[in-house]
Amino acid sequence: MANFRNRSTCVRVHYFLCKTLIHVICGETQSVRGAPPLTECKIPKTRRGPLNPEFVRTTLTVDMEVDPPKKQEDPQIKDKDLFKAAETGDSSTFKSFSQDQLSKFLKLRNEDGRSLLHVAASSAHPEVVKILSAAADESVLNSSDEEGWAPIHSAASIGNSEIMEILLSKGANVNLKNDGGRTALHYAASKGRLKIAELLISHGAKINSKDKVGCTPLHRAASTGNSALCEFLIEEGADVDAEDRAGQTPLMNAVICQNKEVALLLIRHGADVDVEDKEGYTVFGRASDDFRPKLVDAARAMLEG
C-alpha cells in the first residue's frame, strides 16, 4: 500500500488517479499529461469493458497521511486594546469575535477589577453592552470591582436607561449590594434618576433596603431635592419615617439640605416632625437659623390650607 507523507505528492497522486480513471472508463489508453503512458503504469487493459477489480484495488487504495487542517486561532488582540474598545464604544471590534471568544474575553479584569462589560456600562455605550451581555452569564453580569460595584450600579449612577434595560433583561441582580451596602436604587435615588428608579422598582427592587449607614433610597432622594422622585418612592411604599444609624429620617435629610419642597412633601405624607435623632435634635432643630422660619411658615400654610 502506498504511503505518501508529502502534501504536494498527495495532490499529484490524487490528480493522476482521477484522470486515469476517467480515461479508463472512457476507453482511452493514451497517457495522462504529466504521467507515464498507461501501459507503463501496469494498468489492466479495459477498453470499453468492465473495470478490473484488481485495478480498483491497486490504483485507488492509497493510504495518504495528510496533516489535519490547523485550528483557526483567535485574532491576536491585546487585553488593553479590548478595554480601550469597551471604554470608547468601539462596537466593531467586538462584532468581529464569536460568542465563545467574547465569553473568554469577559473573564478579563482591568486594574480596578472591572470586566469589559462593566467598563462599557460605566462609559455609557449601550451597543457594546448589548454585544457583550449576549455572551455573558449571570456571574459576569453581577461581578463586582474592587469596591463592590457591578455593572448595574454604574448604569444606575450614570442614568443610562437603555443600558439598565439590557442588564435587567439579561438577569442582572436588581438588589445586589456593593461594599457600602447600596443597591442600584440607592444610586438612582442619590442622583435623582426617576426613570431608572421606575425601571428598578418594576423589576423588584426593594424600596426600603438600607445601606451600611442605614439610609434608604428615600433618604438619598430627599437629599437631592428631587420632589418627583421622592413622591414616586413614597407612592411605591417608601417609609417616610425610616431612620438611619444616626436616627435621622428622610425629612431631616431634606431639612439639612434645605430642600423645602421635599420637606413639605414628606410632611404632607405624614412624616413625623417631632422625632429626635440620636443626638437629640428634632426636624426643626436640624434646620439652619435662616431656613427654619421659612420651613415653619411653609408647613403652617400647607397644613392650614
Q: Residue 12's pLDDT is what?
A: 52
What distance in Å separates the CA atoms of residue 145 and residue 24, rounded to the nearest whole number? 73
Q: What is the pLDDT along the chain (305 residues), one digit of tens a residue?
A: 445 445 454 445 455 555 555 455 545 545 445 545 544 444 445 455 555 555 544 554 444 444 555 554 555 789 999 999 999 999 999 999 999 999 999 999 999 999 999 999 999 999 999 999 999 999 999 999 999 999 999 999 999 999 999 999 999 999 999 999 999 999 999 999 999 999 999 999 999 999 999 999 999 999 999 999 999 999 999 999 999 999 999 999 999 999 999 999 999 999 999 999 999 999 999 998 888 888 888 888 887 76
**Are 201 and 224 contacting, i.e. CB atoms less than 8 angstroms apart?**
no
Secondary structure element (H or E) that encloses residue 3, with its range = strand 3-4
Enumerate residues 6+ apart whose C-beta is below 8 A from 98.
none
User: Is the Cα dihedral 218, 223, 227, 228 positive or negative?
Assistant: negative
What distance in Å separates the CA atoms of residue 173 and residue 60, rounded to the nearest whole number? 63
Smallest CA-to-CA distance from 173 within 159, 188, 153 is with: 153
What distance in Å separates the CA atoms of residue 64 and residue 255, rounded to the nearest whole number? 87
Q: Residue 208's pLDDT is what?
A: 99
3-state secondary structure of 27: coil
What topology does CATH give the domain 207-305? 1.25.40
* 305 CB-side CA count, 13 A: 8
* 15 CB-side CA count, 13 A: 10
Beta bridge partners of 64: 4
At 218, list the grid cell. 428615600
CA distances from 81 to 73, 110, 116, 120, 123 (A): 18, 11, 11, 13, 15
pTM score: 0.75
For 55-93, give the DSSP string.
HHHHHH--EE-PPPPPPPPPPP--HHHHHHHHHHT-HHH
Residue 227 has φ and ψ, to the nearest 5°, of -70, -35
Smallest CA-to-CA distance from 201 within 174, 221, 222 is with: 174
Fold match between domain 77-206 and domain 207-305: yes
What stretches of the chain show up as alpha helix (H) in DSSP? Answer: 7-25, 53-60, 79-88, 91-95, 99-105, 116-122, 126-133, 138-141, 151-158, 161-169, 184-190, 194-202, 217-224, 227-235, 250-256, 260-268, 283-286, 291-304
Beta bridge partners of 267: none
CATH superfamily of the 77-206 domain: Ankyrin repeat-containing domain (1.25.40.20)
Q: Domain map of the chain by residue range?
A: 3-64, 77-206, 207-305
DSSP 8-state secondary structure symbol assigned to residue 4: E
Q: How far is CA 82 from the centre of its chain?
A: 14
Beta bridge partners of 3: 63
What distance in Å separates the CA atoms of residue 151 and residue 173, rounded to the nearest whole number? 10
